[in-house]
């Protein structure tokens, strides 16, 4: 036999079969599950991020979508020989064809460094400022701007500036 449809379809049928108490319980459980799902996400959602270490000490960690401007790191004669290590993440992935470009405050190229693609060992890009800038013969260079680029990020992004001065150890 042919059964006549009720107005409102399936939802109306479900409502009729639930008692008032069951409906309240169902709504409460549904709201709890929905709010749990929504609050389970991190405040630092996706996007690019990077960290800069000096001698294995974290001095800068930045989420690019929250970036408020370029950070400056102070560097003096004692710290300019420190090992700089940069980790850059593209939504949790390491980039391909990575490079670090270092320019002075007049945007003049000081050094371009290329890094091998990540193979599972170490995704850090490591260098020393002292490898390409002589402290005593820096010819007025007071600031070095650190740019990152990769296959996933073109043109390059300014990560931080190293201010070369006479202050104490590098500080964020």
147, β-bridge pairs? 101, 158
The answer to whether position 172 is within a domain reads no
Q: Are residues 53 and 128 in the same domain?
A: yes
The Cα angle at residue 20 between residues 16 and 22, in degrees rounded to 5: 90
The residue to which tokens 């609050």 are assigned = 39
Are 72 and 157 within one domain?
A: yes
Please state the separation of Cα 29 from the chain's center in Å.
36
pLDDT in tens, the chain (172 residues): 555 555 555 555 555 555 666 667 777 787 777 777 666 655 545 578 899 999 999 999 988 876 677 888 888 888 878 899 999 988 888 888 899 999 988 899 999 999 988 877 668 899 988 887 887 777 778 889 999 999 888 788 899 998 887 544 444 4
Is position 23 within any domain? Answer: yes
Is the separation of the CB atoms in 172 and 54 below 8 Å?
no
How many domains in the chain?
2
The answer to whether residues 152 and 67 belong to one domain is yes
Note the pLDDT of residue 37: 67
The rounded distance, in Å, linking the Cα atoms of 140 and 165 is 11
Same domain, 26 and 83: no
Token code pair at residue 169: 């150890």
Asked if the structure places residue 170 within a domain, the reply is no
2 occurs within a structural domain: no
Shared-domain flag, residues 57 and 34: no
Alpha-helical (H) ranges within the chain are 9-17, 20-39
CATH number at residue 85: 2.60.40.1930
Q: Does 4 map to a domain?
A: no
Half-sphere exposure of 126 (CA within 13 A, CB side): 9
Residue 166: the pLDDT is 56
pLDDT at residue 72 in the model: 87
Q: Which domain holds residue 101?
A: 48-164
């Amino acid at each position: 036999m042919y059964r006549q449809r009720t107005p409102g379809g399936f939802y109306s049928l479900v409502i009729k079969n639930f008692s008032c108490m069951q409906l309240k319980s169902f709504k409460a459980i549904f709201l709890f599950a929905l709010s749990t799902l929504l609050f389970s996400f991190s405040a630092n959602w996706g996007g690019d991020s990077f960290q800069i270490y000096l001698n294995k000490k974290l001095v800068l960690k930045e989420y690019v979508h929250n970036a408020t401007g370029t950070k400056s790191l102070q560097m003096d004669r004692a710290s300019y020989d420190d090992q700089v290590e940069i980790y850059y993440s593209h939504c949790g992935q390491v980039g391909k064809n990575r490079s670090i470009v270092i320019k002075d405050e007049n945007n003049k190229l000081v050094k371009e460094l290329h890094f091998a693609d990540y193979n599972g060992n170490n995704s850090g890009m490591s260098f020393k400022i002292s490898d390409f800038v002589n402290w005593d013969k820096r010819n007025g260079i007071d600031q070095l701007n650190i740019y990152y680029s990769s296959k996933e990020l073109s043109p390059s992004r300014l990560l931080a500036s190293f201010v070369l001065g006479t202050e104490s150890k590098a500080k964020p």
